[in-house]
C-alpha cells in the first residue's frame, strides 16, 4: 500500500512546466529522446558501478531499455534497468530543488529569437518534456543500492506532484505516460520506431519496442572517416550532446603515437553557460575498445575545454581503471596533451579555412578560449593565436587576430597597441586614440578586463611588446601641436602646479605631454596596470 505525500514544484519548475504544457510544438516527439537518454544515462551509471565493484541489487538483470505501447489505453511506458532513484533523489531530480538549468532555460526562451523548446535537453531539464505529450506522468523507481526501497512519483504537471514509497520493485526506473488526446499517435509502434531511429540510434543499450529490438549500436568514433556518413556524425552528436540540432564544429581523428587514440569531438551551436546555466560539466566520454570507461570524463581535457562534447577511445587504457588512478595517471596526461593539442590546431585551421564559422565559434565560446589563455600556461601560446579583438581599423563586427595586426603593421613599429574599450564609440570619442589616429597606427580594442590580463601576462607576440595605450611612458612620435596656442614657460608650470594642487592624491604627477592634439588633458597609468585591470583588482579587494 502506498502512502502518497503531495508536494509543490519549485516556482521556476512550475513556470517551465507551464510553458512546456501550453506552447505549440512542431517537434514534440523529442520527449522520447529525452526519456531514452535519461534511461541510457542511468544504465551507464549502473554499468560503471558494476565495473568499480559497488554492490548492486538484481545484478543479473540485462542492461536494456524496453518500451511498451498500449494503443487502447493510450499509454507509453519506458522501463530501464539502470541505477534508479531513491526517494530523496526523486524529490531532488524531478521536483522541489531549483536546478540552474531551469532558470537558464527560461532565460534562453525569453532571450533567444528562435524560442526553440527543443533544446530543453541541453539545459538539463529534459525530463519535463514528457509533459508535452502526457497529461499524467508516473515514475516508479528502485535504486541500485541494496537498502533502498521502491518509490513512486506522479504528476499532472500543474503545480504539484505526489511521491511515496511503494512495494518491492526491480532495480531501475519505469515511466508511464498517459498520452494527451492530441498525442495518441505516440502509442503506435511505427511512429515510435521511426522516432527512435531518428534520435536515439546511437544509444549503446538495446532498445525494445513491444518486445522487438530497434536500434543497432555502433561506435563510429573507431571507424575511418570515409566510412562514416554526415548523417551518422550528426546523429551521434545528438546522442552524445543530448542535442536537438546539428553541431557547429566537428573533429574526428586518430593517432598511434605517442599514444593510441580515436577521438570524435564536437562543439555545439549554443553555449548555455552564457545563459547563466552555471558551470558546464565536461562532456567527453572515455572508452577503451568501445567500452565506456568513464562518462563525462573530467581529466581527459583541460577545464577550459569543458564545452567540448564527444568520445575518446584508447586501447591503452586499462578497462578497470578507477577514478582516483585515472586522475594522476601518466597515461591520462599523455592523452590529454595529444587531444588538446590536436583540438587547438583544429580551431586554428578552422579560423583560416572558414572565418565565418570561426567567428560564430568565437562569439559563443570565446569566453572559454580566454579562460584558457588566462589560466593554462602550457597551451597559452596556441590559445593566444585564437584570440580576437575589435580594433581602430576593424569595421563594426569585424574580428582582428594578433597575426592580422602584425601583418598590416607599418615597418618600424615596434609595439602592438591595445586599449580597453567596452564599446567602440566610447573609446573612439576618448583622447587616448588621438595620437594613433593621426599616424594611422592600429589599436586593438579589448572588451573585458580579462583580455587586458591575458595580454599583460603574455607580454609580447612574435617579438613585439603588447602595450596598453593608457600608459604614461608610451614611445610614440610627438603630435603636431596647434600653432600659437600652446602654453609654455611659467604659464605652463603654473597650470601644472595648480592642477596637482586641485587633484591632490588622486594623481601622482602632472606632466606636459606631446601626445594630444585636440583634447587638453589625458589620464594615464604610471605602471603596467591598465585601467580596467585596476578596476578589476579593486573589485576583488573589496
Ligand atoms: P538531465 O538528464 O540533463 O540531468 P533531466 O531533466 O532529463 O536532466 O533529468 C533530471 C535527473 O533525473 C537526471 O539527472 C537523473 O538524475 C534523474 N533521472 C531522470 N530519469 C532517470 C532514470 N530513468 N533513471 C534514473 N534517474 C533518472
Ligand atoms: Mg536528461
| Cα gap 386→454, rounded to integer Å | 12
For 58-62, 465-469, 520-524, which range has the lowest pLDDT when averaged over its residues? 520-524
Alpha-carbon distance 109 to 113, whole Å? 8
Cα-trace Rg, the chain: 29
Helix (H, G, I), strand (E, B) or coil at 175: strand
Q: Is 80 annotated as a binding residue?
A: yes
101 is in an annotated binding site: yes
Is 93 within any annotated ligand binding site? yes
Grid cell of 110 as nine digits: 525569453
| Residue 378 annotated as lining a ligand binding site | no
What's the pLDDT at 100?
79
- pLDDT tier for residue 529 given thresholds of 50, 70 and 90: low
Q: How far is the CA of 93 from the centre of ligand 1 (A)?
A: 7
Q: CA–CA separation, 117 vs 121, rounded Å?
A: 9
CA of 124 from ligand 2 middle (Å) equals: 6
Atom number, ligand 1, closest to the C-alpha of residue 82: 24
d(CA 22, CA 435): 59
* Nearest residue (CA) to ligand 1, atom 27: 38
Distance in Å, CA 37 to ligand 1 centroid: 9
- DSSP characters over 272-306: GGGGT--SPPPEEEEEETTEEEETT-SSSS-GGGT
Ligand-binding annotation for 395, yes or no, is no
Q: Are the C-beta atoms of residues 415 and 461 closer than 8 Å to each other?
A: no
Cα 496 to Cα 349, 435, 517, 520, distances in angstroms = 53, 21, 18, 12
Instruction: Output the residue whose Cα is nearest ligand 1's atom 3.
Output: 124
Q: From CA 56, how far away is CA 179, in angstroms rounded?
A: 33
Q: What is the mean pLDDT of residues 9-19?
A: 91
Atom of ligand 1 nearest to the CA of 45: 25
137 to 87, 152, 171: CA distances (angstroms):
16, 11, 19
Q: How far is the CA of 204 from the centre of ligand 2 (A)?
A: 16
Q: For residues 458 and 374, give the distance between their C-alpha atoms in angstroms, rounded to a whole number.
A: 9
The span from the CA of 43 to the CA of 207, in Å, is: 12
Backbone angles phi, psi at 368, to 5 degrees: -75, -35
Tell how far the Cα of 31 is from the centroid of ligand 2, in angstroms: 10
Cα–Cα distance for residue pair 276/107, rounded to 1 Å:
8
pLDDT, averaged across the chain: 88
Ligand 1 atom closest to 124 (CA) = 3
323 is in an annotated binding site: yes
Taking the centre of ligand 2 as the mean of its atom positions, its distance from the CA of residue 40, in whole angstroms, is: 9
Any idea which ligand is nearest the CA of 128? 1
Q: What is the pLDDT of residue 311?
A: 95
Q: Ligand nearest 101 Cα, by number?
A: 1
Report the nearest atom of ligand 1 relative to the CA of 172.
24
Taking the alpha carbons at both ends of the chain, their separation in whole angstroms is 58
Mutate which of 16, 17, 31, 38 for ligand 1 pocket (most atoms within 8 A of beta carbon) = 38
Among 214-218, 368-372, 506-510, the range with the most confident prediction by mean pLDDT is: 368-372
pLDDT at residue 319 is higher than 60: no
- Say if residue 89 is exposed, middle or buried (CB neighbours under 10 Å; 0-12, 13-18, 19+): middle
Distance CA 428, CA 434 (A): 9
Give the pLDDT score at 434: 83
305, with CB counted inside 10 A (0-12, 13-18, 19+), is: buried
Instruction: Tell me the C-alpha distance between 131 and 31, whole Å.
Output: 8
Residue nearest to atom 14 of ligand 1 (CA): 93
H/E stretch holding 436:
helix 434-439
Cα gap 495→49, rounded to integer Å:
77
Q: Whose CA is closest to 369, among 267, 490, 504?
A: 267
Distance (Å) of CA 486 to CA 436, 473, 475, 501, 534: 20, 21, 21, 21, 32
Ligand 1 centroid–CA 126 distance in Å is: 8
Exposed e or buried b per residue across 486-513, where buried means at least 16 C-beta atoms within 10 angstroms of its C-beta: eeeeeeeeeeeeeeeeeeeeeeeebeee
465 with 415: CB under 8 angstroms?
yes
C-alpha 497 to ligand 1 mean position (Å): 70
pLDDT band at 415 (very low <50, low <70, confident <90, very high): very high
Ligand number, closest to the Cα atom of 123:
1
**365 annotated ligand-binding residue:** no
Q: Which ligand is nearest to the CA of 46?
A: 1
409 is in an annotated binding site: no
Look at ligand 1, atom 23, and give the residue with the nearest C-alpha: 39
Q: Which atom of ligand 1 is nearest to the CA of 83?
A: 25
Atom of ligand 1 nearest to the CA of 123: 3
CA–CA separation, 403 vs 382, rounded Å?
A: 12
Is 132 labelled a binding residue? no
Grid cell of 425 as nine digits: 564609440
The residue whose CA is least distant from atom 20 of ligand 1 is 38
Cα separation of 404 and 389, whole Å?
Answer: 10
Would you place residue 178 in the very low, low, confident or very high pLDDT band (cuts 50, 70, 90)?
Answer: very high
Ligand 1: which of 40, 93, 173, 203 to mutate, judged by most atoms within 8 Å of the beta carbon?
93
pLDDT digits (tens, 9 = 90+) for 436-480: 877 789 999 998 888 999 998 899 999 999 999 888 777 776 666
> Measured in angstroms, how far is the CA atom of residue 39 from the centroid of ligand 1?
8
Q: pLDDT of 239-277, one tens digit each?
A: 888 888 899 999 999 999 889 999 999 999 999 888 877
Reported as a pLDDT band with limits 50, 70 and 90, residue 342 is very high
Separation of alpha carbons 418 and 532, rounded Å: 12
In this prediction, residues 84-111 reach a mean pLDDT of 86
114 pLDDT band, cuts 50/70/90, is: low
With a Cβ cut-off of 6 Å, ligand 1 is lined by 34, 38-39, 41-42, 80, 82-85, 93-94, 124-127, 173
Cα-to-centroid distance, 34 and ligand 1 (Å): 9
Nearest partner of 277 among 540, 98, 449, judged by Cα: 98
Q: What residue's CA is closest to ligand 1, atom 15?
A: 93
Which one has a higher pLDDT value, 134 or 33? 134
Q: Which of 56, 83, 127 to mutate to test the pocket of ligand 1 (most atoms within 8 A of CB)?
A: 127
Instruction: Give the chain's count of helices (H) and strands (E).
Output: 16, 19
Q: Annotate 15-51 with b (16+ C-beta within 10 A) or e (fewer).
A: bbbebbbeeeeeebbbbbbbbbbbbbbbbbebbbbeb
Most confident of 26-40, 176-190, 280-294, 502-516: 176-190
Cis peptide bond N-terminal to 258, omega within 30: yes
Nearest CA to ligand 1 atom 10: 93
Torsional class of 481: left (φ above 0), alpha (ψ -120 to 50), beta (otherwise)? beta
Q: Which DSSP symbol is given to 457?
A: H
- Nearest 5°: phi and psi at 294? -150, 115
For residue 186, the CA-to-ligand 1 centroid distance in Å is 21
Tell which wins on pLDDT, 262 or 422. 262
Round to whole Å and give the CA distance between 342 and 25: 40
**Sequence-distant (≥ 6) Cβ neighbours of residue 390 within 8 angstroms:** 398, 399, 400, 421, 424, 444, 445, 447
Q: Which residues contact 498 (CB under 8 A, 6 or more apart)?
A: none
Residue 61: per-residue pLDDT: 95
Amino acid at each position: 500500500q502506498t502512502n502518497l505525500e503531495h508536494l509543490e514544484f519549485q516556482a521556476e519548475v512550475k513556470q517551465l512546466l507551464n510553458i512546456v504544457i501550453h506552447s505549440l510544438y512542431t517537434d514534440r516527439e523529442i520527449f522520447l529522446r529525452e526519456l531514452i537518454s535519461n534511461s541510457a544515462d542511468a544504465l551507464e551509471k549502473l554499468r560503471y558501478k558494476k565495473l568499480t565493484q559497488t554492490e548492486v541489487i538484481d545484478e543479473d538483470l540485462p542492461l536494456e531499455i524496453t518500451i511498451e505501447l498500449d494503443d487502447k489505453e493510450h499509454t507509453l511506458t519506458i522501463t530501464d534497468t539502470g541505477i534508479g532513484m531513491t526517494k530523496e533523489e526523486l524529490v531532488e531530480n524531478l521536483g522541489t530543488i531549483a536546478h540552474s538549468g531551469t532558470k537558464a532555460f527560461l532565460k534562453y526562451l525569453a532571450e533567444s529569437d528562435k524560442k526553440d523548446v527543443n533544446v530543453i535537453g541541453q539545459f538539463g531539464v529534459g525530463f519535463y518534456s514528457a509533459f508535452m505529450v502526457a497529461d499524467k506522468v508516473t515514475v516508479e523507481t528502485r535504486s541500485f543500492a541494496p537498502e533502498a526501497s521502491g518509490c513512486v512519483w506522479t504528476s499532472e504537471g500543474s503545480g504539484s506532484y505526489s511521491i511515496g514509497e511503494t512495494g518491492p520493485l526491480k532495480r531501475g526506473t519505469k515511466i508511464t505516460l498517459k498520452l494527451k488526446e492530441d498525442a495518441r499517435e505516440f502509442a503506435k509502434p511505427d511512429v515510435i520506431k521511426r522516432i527512435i531511429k531518428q534520435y536515439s540510434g546511437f544509444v549503446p543499450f538495446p532498445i525494445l519496442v513491444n518486445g522487438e529490438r530497434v536500434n543497432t549500436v555502433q561506435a563510429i568514433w573507431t571507424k575511418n572517416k570515409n566510412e562514416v556518413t554526415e548523417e551518422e556524425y550528426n546523429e551521434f552528436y545528438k546522442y552524445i550532446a543530448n542535442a536537438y540540432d546539428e553541431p557547429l564544429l566537428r573533429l574526428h581523428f586518430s593517432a598511434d603515437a605517442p599514444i593510441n587514440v580515436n577521438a570524435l569531438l564536437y562543439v555545439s551551436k549554443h553555449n548555455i553557460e552564457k545563459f547563466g546555466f552555471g558551470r558546464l560539466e565536461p562532456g567527453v566520454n572515455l572508452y577503451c575498445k568501445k567500452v565506456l570507461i568513464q562518462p563525462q570524463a573530467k581529466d581527459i581535457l583541460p577545464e577550459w575545454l569543458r564545452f567540448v562534447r564527444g568520445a575518446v577511445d584508447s586501447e591503452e587504457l586499462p578497462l578497470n581503471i578507477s577514478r582516483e588512478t585515472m586522475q594522476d595517471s601518466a597515461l591520462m596526461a599523455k592523452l590529454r596533451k595529444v587531444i588538446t593539442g590536436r583540438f587547438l590546431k583544429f580551431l586554428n585551421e578552422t579560423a583560416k579555412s572558414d572565418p565565418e564559422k570561426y567567428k560564430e565559434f568565437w562569439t559563443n565560446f570565446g569566453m572559454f578560449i580566454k579562460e584558457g589563455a588566462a589560466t593554462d600556461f602550457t597551451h597559452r601560446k596556441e590559445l593566444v593565436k585564437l584570440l580576437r579583438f575589435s580594433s581602430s581599423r576593424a569595421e563594426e563586427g569585424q574580428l582582428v587576430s594578433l597575426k592580422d595586426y602584425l601583418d598590416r603593421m607599418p615597418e618600424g613599429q615596434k609595439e602592438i597597441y591595445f586599449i580597453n574599450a567596452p564599446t567602440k564609440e566610447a573609446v573612439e570619442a576618448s583622447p587616448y586614440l588621438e595620437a594613433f589616429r593621426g599616424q594611422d597606427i592600429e589599436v586593438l580594442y579589448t572588451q573585458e578586463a580579462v583580455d587586458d590580463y591575458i595580454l599583460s601576462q603574455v607580454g609580447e607576440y612574435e617579438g613585439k611588446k603588447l602595450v596598453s595605450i593608457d600608459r604614461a611612458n608610451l614611445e610614440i612620435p610627438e603630435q603636431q601641436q596647434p600653432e600659437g596656442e600652446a602654453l609654455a614657460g611659467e604659464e605652463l608650470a603654473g597650470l601644472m602646479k595648480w592642477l596637482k594642487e586641485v587633484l591632490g592624491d588622486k594623481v601622482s604627477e602632472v606632466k606636459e605631454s606631446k601626445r594630444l592634439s585636440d583634447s587638453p588633458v589625458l589620464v594615464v597609468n604610471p605602471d603596467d596596470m591598465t585601467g580596467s585591470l585596476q578596476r578589476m583588482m579593486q573589485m576583488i579587494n573589496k
